[in-house]
Amino acid sequence: MNIKTKYLLSLLFICFSSTTSAMEVLINQQQIQGAIALLFPYPAKLGSWNIVLDHPKLSLFEKTQSVSLQSEIHAKEGKKEILMTGQIKGKVHFNAVKQELQLINPTLEKLVITKTNIPEASKIVKQISTGFGKALPIIVLLNLNQMGISSPLFKPTQINIVHKGLMIGL
C-alpha cells in the first residue's frame, strides 16, 4: 500500500469514526444538469397523442426546496404536430431507501406554442396542460447508486438544495 492510499484511508477513518463529524458532498448545478439531460428525451402518451419532452434547462430554488425544468415539448398525432415550450415544476424529495432524488407532484405549466401545422393547436395544448400536465408521475432526477455516490460504506442520508447545487449528507 503506497503512502497516498494510507493517507486517504486514515483521513476517511477519522471522518467516519467521529459521531460529531459530518461529511457532505456538493454537486454543482452543471453536474446536475448533465445528469438530468441523460433522462431526456422523456416520452409520454396522452390519448392518441405522442408527447416528447426534451432539452431540459434546470433551475434550483433553495428557499422552497423545489426544481423547475424548462423543456421543449413535441406533441404528435399522425401528421398533426405541435412544438411548444413548457416548464415542469415540483418539490424535491430524497428517497433514502432507493437512493434517489425525486421530483414529487410535478406539474407541466406555462405551455407556449412555438410551431404547429394545425389551426386548433391552442385547444389541444389546453388539453395537454390539463390532462397530461397535472398528472405527471414522480420523476427521478438523480439516482445516487447509478452515479456511484452511494455504496455500502457511504449511504447518503439527506439531500438539500443549496445556493451552488445539491448538498448530499453522508
pLDDT digits (tens), the chain, 170 positions: 544 444 334 434 434 433 334 688 888 999 889 888 888 898 988 788 898 999 999 999 999 999 999 999 999 999 999 999 999 999 999 998 998 999 998 888 889 999 999 998 998 888 878 876 676 788 888 888 877 766 766 778 888 999 889 898 87
Amino acid found at 101: L
| pLDDT of the residue at 22 | 64
pLDDT at position 125: 86
DSSP β-bridge partners for residue 22: none
The pLDDT score that the predictor gives to residue 135 is: 67
Cα–Cα separations (whole angstroms), residue 98 to 11, 32, 85, 140: 28, 18, 31, 10
How many Å apart are CA 48 and CA 75, to the nearest integer?
A: 10
Whole-model pTM? 0.73
pLDDT at 79: 95
pLDDT at position 147: 73
Cell numbers 418539490: residue:
91
What per-residue confidence (pLDDT) applies to 132?
67
**C-alpha cell of residue 155:** 449511504
Per-residue pLDDT, 130: 80
The ranges assigned to domains in the chain are 22-169
Q: Which CATH homologous superfamily contains domain 22-169?
A: Uncharacterised protein PF07273 family, DUF1439 (3.15.10.40)
* Three-class SS state of 1: coil
First-to-last alpha carbon distance for the chain, in angstroms, is 26
pLDDT of residue 17: 39
Checking phi first, is residue 113 left (phi over 0); if not, alpha (psi -120 to 50) or beta? Answer: beta
The pLDDT score that the predictor gives to residue 154 is 72
* Single-letter amino acid code for the residue at 128: I
Question: Which residues lie closer than 8 Å to 7 by C-beta, 6 or more apart?
Answer: none
What does the alpha-carbon distance between residue 146 and residue 28 come to, in Å, rounded to a whole number? Answer: 17
pLDDT of residue 81: 96
